[in-house]
């Protein structure tokens, strides 16, 4: 049997935006409404992605960021592909992903990273503080990164975001090895 390619995906963003909820949705398909801000976990997910095929994706679900600036630096230097997650009902979390993106570009060149910008909690439309177009604009500045609004709660676009990130990463690796 051929060896499955392995990809590494890191979720970064403010505490409470739904990184763990998105991760659990990807891994187990369910939404758990509990909130434990300290959870930092690493998963090996055996999956099959359109256009990529069977593969293993290592998912690193990181904990809150402010208190863990040095940890964040470590995640960034070890990461290959990043989901920058904010919550559409939390303007501060949107500002924070822009800061995180700055940090990423300080230690990595744009051609060496794959980024997907994620506006999570899109089910909370009535409490929205960040408009869809703002997410789209921000994503344009982030080295053509992709943008999706997701809901871990309702399952909206969760697998699509995951797939997009792995496809970007796979495409980048392939184009380099040419």
Footprint of ligand GDP (CB under 6 A): 13, 15-21, 33, 35, 37, 120-121, 123-124, 151-153
Pick 63 or 173: Cβ nearer Mg ion: 63
Q: Residues 111, 104: contact at Cβ < 8 Å?
A: no
Q: How far is the CB of 36 from Mg ion (least distance, A)?
A: 7
Q: Which partner from the list ligand GDP, Mg ion, none does 143 bind, CB cut-off 5 to 8 Å by kind? A: none
User: E strands, 30-122, where?
Assistant: 41-49, 53-61, 81-87, 114-120
Pick 24 or 76: Cβ nearer Mg ion: 24
Closest by CA to 119, choosing from 109, 107, 127, is 127
Residue entry with tokens 């500002």: 95
Phi, psi of 151 (to 5 degrees): -135, 110
- Does residue 71 interact with Mg ion by CB under 5 A? no
Chain residues 31-50 in contact with Mg ion, contact rule CB under 5 A: 39
Which residues contact residue 132 at a Cβ distance below 8 angstroms, ignoring those fewer than 6 apart?
Answer: 119, 149
Pick 10 or 151: Cβ nearer ligand GDP: 151
Closest by CA to 19, choosing from 115, 118, 116, 96, is 118
Pick 55 or 132: Cβ nearer ligand GDP: 132
How many residues bind Mg ion, per CB under 5 A? 3
* Residues lying near Mg ion in the complex (CB under 5 A): 19-20, 39
């Amino acid at each position: 049997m051929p060896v499955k390619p392995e990809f590494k995906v890191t979720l970064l963003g403010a505490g409470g935006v739904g990184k763990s909820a998105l991760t659990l949705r990807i891994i187990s398909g369910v939404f758990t409404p509990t909130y434990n801000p300290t959870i930092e976990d690493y998963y090996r997910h055996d999956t099959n992605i359109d256009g990529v095929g069977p593969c293993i994706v290592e998912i690193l679900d990181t904990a809150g960021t402010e208190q863990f600036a040095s940890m964040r630096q470590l995640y960034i230097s070890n990461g290959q592909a990043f989901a920058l997650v904010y919550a559409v009902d939390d303007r501060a979390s949107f500002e924070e992903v822009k800061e995180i993106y700055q940090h990423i570009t300080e230690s990595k060149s744009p051609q060496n990273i794959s980024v997907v910008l994620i506006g999570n909690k899109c089910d909370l439309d009535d409490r929205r503080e960040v408009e869809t177009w703002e997410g789209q604009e921000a994503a344009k500045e982030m080295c053509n990164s992709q943008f999706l609004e997701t809901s871990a709660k309702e399952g909206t676009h969760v697998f699509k975001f995951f797939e997009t990130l792995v496809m970007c990463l796979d495409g980048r690796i392939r184009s380099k090895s040419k």
